[in-house]
Chain A
Amino acid sequence: MSDASSIQKANPGVNDAILQVDHLSMKFGGLVAIGDLSFQARRGEITALIGPNGAGKTTVFNCITGFYKPSEGMITLNRRDGSSYLLERLPNHEIPARAKVARTFQNIRLFSGMTLLENLLVAQHNKLMKASGYTILGLFGFSGYRTASAESIDLARHWLEKADLVNRADDPAGDLPYGAQRRLEIARAMCTGPELLCLDEPAAGLNPKESMALNALLMDIKDNTGTSILLIEHDMAVVMQISDHVVVLEYGRKISDGSPHAVRTDPRVIAAYLGVEDEDVETVLIEVGDEDVIEQLDTGPDSTHGPDSSSSYFAGPVSDTVGHSEGERVTVSKGASKAGQVDARSGAAARPASPAEAEPAAKPSAAKSSAAKPAAKAPAKPKTPGDSNRGGGNE
């Protein structure tokens, strides 16, 4: 990853991974928000990034979209025309402009005092700047700008129709109901003409009907524009229904990666969401088909193991504009990882270990993992809930 080539490098051969994240780490002072994360998002697919609160999902997004500069690692974006960009090296605003990555925000960030149409026109800024000869030609009313301006309004109208907002095109964005604001933010991101669309909890706060409409919109984007989608989502109904590929994070580390079905039955994922200490993991597991259970129990990191609310205080400033307090609270504390405990306990069960040894064994997987760890994690997959239950008896 320290190759001296330019940010944009020639990429021979077809690469079907639009986004490739390699050994990504993000540290805020002493806190490891993301530790050695590697995954791929394939072109034309919807990739979901899930995990409990504070798992570092938004931090991954902020690294991909340039709001944070990662401490380590490489994020490669392969565009359709064959060019590749190393996103961690591009300045913030060039990631949407050159690498064609667009994003939305967890707490909606619209230009609330501007109309819906204006919001979508701002999104076409770079295209229009060129057409207006960097303002100078446009100021004198050259016709090239006028046609470009008309085209941009047509594109805006197209996306307003897709988002079912065309009737409110001339209303201020701040006047829209919450669900419509979410759709508008997606429409605005699509107006930049992205190849990868990053959605940060698009379904948060939507009612089931709006959620359905959102699914339809996302499927439409995927099928008709060829835009690949990377989304963070807590609403499992959305994730399981539309995503082709799911990556699960816990405490900044990838604990599972695969198809929605494979991930849903992965004990490490279940442990991460439900906790292994629970006596009746087995019964819960039977119910896991019901996503609501996962969602109900998804209440964030256990405060006795995880960090308390002041931990973000230690995270030094990384970006002057995106306070990480706005995003998710991300940290790793030793022994907090439930998935790590699954690993540890299964390891302990395999060996004739004493209860005293089992707890310390939980630590390395969570806190001391080295760069080569993802490979080491793979064998942890074929664990059964029974193993974790036996481990839980050690408490």
Chain B
Amino acid sequence: MAVTASPERDIVATPMQRATREALYAGAIALGLFVLFIGLRTDQNISNELILVQRWGLLAIVVVLTMAGRFLYVAYGQPFLANQKIVDVATGLLPESMATRFFRLPYFIAAIVIVAVLAFLAGSLDGLLGPGLAGYARFLRALAIIYALASVMFYFRTFIHAHFSALGITALALYPVIVVLVLAVYGGSMAAGFQGSLKWVDNFGIQILIYVMLAWGLNIVVGLAGLLDLGYVAFYAVGAYAYALLGTQYGLSFWILLPAAGAMAAFWGVLLGFPVLRLRGDYLAIVTLAFGEIIRLVLINWREVTNGSAGISGIPKVTFFGLMTFNVSDPNYIAKVFDIATSSAYYKIFLYYLILGLCLLTAFVTIRLRRMPVGRAWEALREDEIACRSLGINTTTTKLTAFATGAMFGGFAGSFFAARQGFVSPESFIFLESAIILAIVVLGGMGSLVGIAVAAMVMIGGTEVLRELDFLKQVFGPDFTPELYRMLLFGMAMVIVMLWKPRGFVGSREPTAFLKESRAVSGSFTKEGHG
């Protein structure tokens, strides 16, 4: 008698059945996740007692929305995507054809028209549409600008791809100039341009570039040498306090203290390096994490020197190489020298170019070092430490130089940070900072400078953009603060990028030498290192 396969096995579930089943699963997961987050809420009543507010209705809405979303996606979304071949199955990316469908000339013209009209009406939007709709109109304008810029980038994509670094550096160098000019045209005077540029240059430009520099510094330790360092912020703190203390106590110039802070951070890098040389993987991560916390706790508790949690204020500003200063009271204040209007924007713009220069220095040194024996030894160490030793490479000094070099750039960034803020306190050097820097390195693609810069721009710029989304208050009520959701955004971005590109934005590595032609090494061959 012939054996027949069970008939159920041959029937493929219809999309509807599958969608129903998956919707139920999604609902169950959502219920489990949100029952405590959304279903219950602690609050204070009038007599200051803690009470539990039950929000079962909201919970039910969230769960039902989740189920409906999953159902619609599986039942209609997935077949549609598959039919239209919208998403490339292998890469998870939109294929070329989809992008050309999305970026079309009529759409581009429409976007430009929307931007122009809304910009023209900018002043009278509130009067015309009321505050609610005006918020949406501004959002629409922002989206139209982004779409128009994306269209332009798409049109020139091959050119951009070929000259990415040069274009990026040019754009960064011109950024403050463009911001000031645009805002000056918009506001009608140069003074308004400078005043308006503060936010864009300081909150976006400088903030992002500090993280770019920190991430590039950590990239040497984690990305190249493969040593997982969770306490990188310690070196940032050492640099910042070195400048803050020596600058306030001895009045030394930033230009002397910048290398000093770097050297001091490098020294601490070596000090940390010695005990952790024998550790690998998780153990190394734990010890470096502890080191970061130790530094922070020392800063809090050594009150005589560091002034504890109150921090150090009145940190001197950077001077323009001693020729000009940015203090209004000084005789050689920049505005007096050039006989222009007083503005705090000059200092910010100067700081922007300073950190840009430091970033470029970091990139230059990293690129140079990668082509030198020590850089190759770092990467070899990441690939296989035992093989390194069999080739006569002193892994001890190699690891120490990686720690020291990475720490040095952290120290540079730290002293810059102190000069920019004018105030340091242990609050700025918590573990979360280390985690964010590491997240940027991982998201960008370990070892890739361009990828890391893009990741820093997305992560830091993205959280800053959240502050701009004030119109959301009209949707979610006046006490909705979008900034509070930045960690959610961070997490979501990480999950999405890790699903979409598990090796980060730029997963491949550029060889440091070649015989015939330089071909990028796919990320599937490189290793992450074991400690």
Taking beta carbons and an 8 Å cutoff, which residues of A are in contact with B? 65-67, 92-97, 102-103, 105, 109-115, 117-118, 121-126, 128-129, 132, 135, 138-139, 145, 153, 157, 160, 166, 169-175, 188-189, 192, 320-322
- Among residues of A, the one whose C-beta sits closest to the C-beta of B384 is A109
**Does B518 lie at the interface of the complex (its beta carbon under 8 Å from any beta carbon of A)?**
yes
Query: Would you list 19 pairs from A and B whose C-beta atoms are within 8 A, ordered by A residue?
Result: A93-B394, A96-B390, A96-B392, A97-B394, A103-B390, A109-B390, A111-B384, A113-B382, A115-B514, A122-B377, A122-B391, A128-B373, A138-B368, A157-B515, A170-B517, A170-B519, A174-B525, A189-B391, A320-B278
Q: Which residues of A contact B368 (CB under 8 A)?
A: 138-139
Contact of B518 among A135, A170, A172 (CB under 8 A): A170
Contacting pair B394 A118 (CB below 8 A):
no
- Which residues on the B side are within 8 Å of A123 (C-beta)? 391
Question: Bound state CA distance, A189 and B390, in angstroms?
Answer: 8
Taking a contact as CB atoms under 8 Å apart, the answer to whether A65 and B390 are in contact is yes
Please determine whether A114 and B380 come into contact, CB atoms closer than 8 angstroms.
Answer: yes
Task: Tell me the complex Cα distance, A73–B512, Å.
Answer: 43
Residue in chain A with minimal CB distance to B516 = A170
Determine if B387 and A109 form an interchain contact, defined as CB atoms under 8 angstroms apart: yes
Q: Verify if B509 is at the interface (C-beta below 8 Å from A).
A: yes
Is B383 close to A, CB under 8 A?
A: yes
Q: A113-B509, A122-B388 known; A93 and B395 CB under 8 Å?
A: yes
Measured CA separation A126–B388 after assembly (Å)? 11
CA gap between A13 and B376 in the complex, in Å? 40
Residues of B in contact, count (CB < 8 Å):
42
Closest B residue to A321 using CB positions: B386
Cα A123 to Cα B373 with chains together (Å): 10
B374 lies within 8 A of chain A by Cβ: yes
Contact string, B482-520, partner A, CB cutoff 8 A, digits 1/0?
A: 000000000000000000000000000101111111110
Residues of chain A within 8 A of B337, CB atoms compared? none
Residues of B within 8 A of A97 (CB): 392, 394
Among B380, B509, B512, which residue has the most Cβ atoms of chain A within 10 A?
Answer: B380
B58 interface residue (CB < 8 Å to A):
no
B391 touches A135 (CB 8 A): no
Q: Which residues of A contact B524 (CB under 8 A)?
A: 174
The docked-state distance in angstroms from the alpha carbon of A321 to that of B393 is: 15
Residues of B within 8 A of A (CB): 278, 365, 368-369, 372-374, 376-377, 379-380, 382-395, 401, 509, 511-519, 521-522, 524-527
**A52 CA to B387 CA, complexed, in Å:** 26
| Bound-complex Cα distance A103 to B389 (A) | 10
A113 touches B514 (CB 8 A): no
Among B379, B388, B391, B515, contact of A102 (Cβ-Cβ < 8 Å): B391
* A122 CB contact (under 8 Å) in B380, B385, B521, B525: B380
Shortest Cβ distance from residue B381 to the other chain A in the assembled complex, whole angstroms: 9
A111 close to B380 (CB less than 8 A): yes
Set of chain B residues within 8 Å of A132, measured between Cβ atoms: 372-374
**Do A112 and B383 have beta carbons less than 8 Å apart?**
yes
In the complex, the answer to whether A169 meets B516 with C-beta atoms within 8 Å is yes
| Cβ-defined contact, B521 with A115, below 8 A | yes
CA distance A95 to B390 in the complex (A): 8
In the complex, chain A residues whose CB is within 8 Å of the CB of B511 = 114-115, 117-118, 170
User: Taking A67-B386, A129-B373, A321-B385 as contacts, is the C-beta distance between A112 and B519 under 8 angstroms?
Assistant: no
The 10 closest A-B pairs by CB, nearest first: A113-B526, A96-B392, A97-B392, A111-B383, A174-B525, A128-B373, A109-B387, A169-B515, A172-B525, A122-B380
Contacts of B392 in A (CB 8 A): 93-97, 125-126, 192
* Chain B residues whose CB sits within 8 angstroms of the CB of A157 once the complex forms: 515
Contact call B393/A322, Cβ cutoff below 8 A: no
Q: Give complex CA distance A92, B396 in Å.
A: 11
CB contacts (< 8 Å) of A192 on chain B: these are 391-392
A321 surroundings in chain B (CB, below 8 A): 385-386, 389
The reply to whether A93 and B387 contact each other, CB–CB distance below 8 Å, is: no
How far, in angstroms, from A97 to B373 measured CA to CA in the complex?
A: 15
With A129-B374, A139-B369 in contact, do A112 and B525 touch (Cβ < 8 Å)? Answer: yes
Q: Given B385, B515, B522, which contacts A117 in the complex, CB threshold below 8 Å? A: B515
Of the candidates B278, B372, B384, B522, which one forms a contact with A110 in the assembled complex, judged by CB atoms under 8 Å apart? Answer: B384
A97 — nearest CB in chain B belongs to which residue? B392
Contact at A113–B387, with CB atoms within 8 Å? no
Q: Point out the residue from B369, B395, B514 that lies within 8 Å of A135, measured CB to CB.
A: B369
Whether A117 touches B383, Cβ cut-off 8 Å, given contacts A97-B392, A122-B393, A139-B372, is no
